[in-house]
Amino acid sequence: MSKLVLVPTPIGNLEDITLRAIRILKDEVDLILAEDTRKTSILLRHYQIAKPVTAFHQHNEHQQLNRIVQRIKAGERMALVTDAGTPGISDPGFLLVRACISEDIEVETLPGPTAFVPALVNSGLPCDKFFFEGFLPPKKGRQTRLSQLAAMPVTIILYESPHRLLKTLGQLAEHMGPERKAAVARELTKIHEETRRGTLTALIDHYSNTDIKGEIVIIIDGNRQ
Buried/exposed 84-118: b ≥16 CB within 10 Å, e otherwise: bbbbbbbbbbeebbebbeeeebebebbebbbbbbb
Number of residues that bind ligand SAM (CB under 6 A): 23
Contact pattern for ligand SAM over residues 121 through 160, marking x by CB under 6 A: --------------------------------------xx
Q: Nearest-CB residue to ligand SAM? A: 85
> Which of 91, 99, 130, 204 lies at the binding interface for ligand SAM (CB under 6 A)?
91
> Whose Cβ is closer to ligand SAM: residue 2's or residue 127's?
127
Q: Are the C-beta atoms of 92 and 82 separated by less than 8 Å?
A: yes
Should residue 4 be labelled a site residue for ligand SAM when binding is judged by CB under 6 A?
no
Q: Determine if 120 is a binding residue for ligand SAM (CB under 6 A).
A: no
Question: Could you say whether residue 90 binds ligand SAM (CB under 6 A)?
Answer: yes
Contact in structure between 54 and 34 (CB atoms under 8 Å): yes
What is the C-alpha separation between 33 and 29, in angstroms, rounded? 10
Contacts of 140 (CB under 8 A, 6+ apart): none
What is the SS3 assignment for 14?
Answer: coil
Quick check: 12 binds ligand SAM (CB under 6 A)?
yes
Which residues contribute to the site for ligand SAM (CB under 6 A)?
Answer: 11-12, 82, 84-86, 89-91, 114-116, 159-161, 185, 187-190, 215-217
